[in-house]
Structure 1
Amino acid sequence: MAHRSRLAGFIIDCNTEDLDAATDFWSQALGLPVTDRDAGDATAQYQALGDIRGGLYVAVQKVDHPSRVHLDIEADDIDAEAERLEKLGARRVAFVKRWWVMEAPTGQRFCVVRAQPEPGEDAARRD
């Protein structure tokens, strides 16, 4: 069955004890306002930046691994998208909470996340 996928956004992984300061740095460096200091949940600490063109998102995340930037690919069927990417040479690293962490053939890590409705898109089921 066909599925839909696209670039969703970028996550700036920061190995830091001060997520507010890291977010403030990236906000000022990128010229993007901090729009949500509590964008995470009980298991992940994120802060969202806003005013992004093209429907993408940028978030700053507190992590335990070395700092890096990774991209998210959103899909309406994350398992089908992970399988498609494996056929292109990527490998699944881990399923975390509700997304796949993947690794490109060249070593970059990225995530396959659930698609979010487009602004104004009807969230009703599709036949």
Structure 2
Amino acid sequence: MAHRSRLAGFIIDSRSDDLDAAANFWSAALGIAIADPDSGGTGQYAEFGGAPGDLHVEVQKVEHPSRVHLDIETDDIDAEVARLEALGATRVAFVKRWWVMQAPDGQRFCVVRMREDNARAAPNAWT
């Protein structure tokens, strides 16, 4: 079955108790403004606005070591996960509404539901 996917953005995983300080650092370092310092209302995510290419960029509080990971958005999560597994990726965990996956070289990334309300380039179409 055909589906679509594309790069959604970058998530800065921060192992810190101070989300505001982490978000303020990355806002200044990247030169992009914090649009929502408490995205989702849980005190776990700070979302930036005005990122280049309309990419989604956020800082999230995590328990694992700090790192940066990317999100791939798709209109069919199961199909995209299967496509990525065929390329050598493995499933790590299903979290809320998305899959955490691992590339063959060990890098972690997430497969998330596609947002249509943005100005990003058209997604890739896969069959």
Q: TM-score, normalised by structure 1?
A: 0.89
How far apart in 2 are the matches of 1:41 and 1:102? 26
Q: CA deviation at 1:15?
A: 0.2
Partner of 1:116: 115
Deviation per CA, 1:65-91: give whole Å up to 9, x if none: 000000000000011100000000000
Please list, as runs of the form range in 1=range in 2, the aligned pairs for 1:34-113 lying within 5 A after superposition.
34-42=34-42, 45-113=44-112
Q: Which runs of 5+ in 1 are unaligned?
A: 121-127
Which deviates more, 49-58 or 5-14?
A: 49-58
Q: Which residue number in structure 2 is paired with residue 21 of structure 1?
A: 21
Counterpart of 1:125 in structure 2 is none
Greater strand proportion: 2
Give the CA RMSD over aligned residues.
Answer: 1.3
Q: Give the aligned residue type for 1:71.
A: L
Query: TM (normalized to structure 2)?
Result: 0.89
Task: Give the Cα–Cα distance (whole angstroms) in 2 for the partners of residues 59 and 106 of structure 1.
Answer: 24
Give, as a single letter, the amino acid of the residue that structure 2 aligns with 1:79: D
Mapped to 2, the partners of 1:51 and 1:92 lie a distance apart of 31
Pick 1 or 2: higher relative contact order, CA cutoff 8 A, min separation 6.
2
Instruction: Report how many aligned residue pairs link the two structures.
Output: 119
| AA partner of residue 24 (structure 1) | N
Q: Which portions of structure 1, spanning 4 or more consecutive aligned residues, are displaced by more than 2 angstroms? A: none
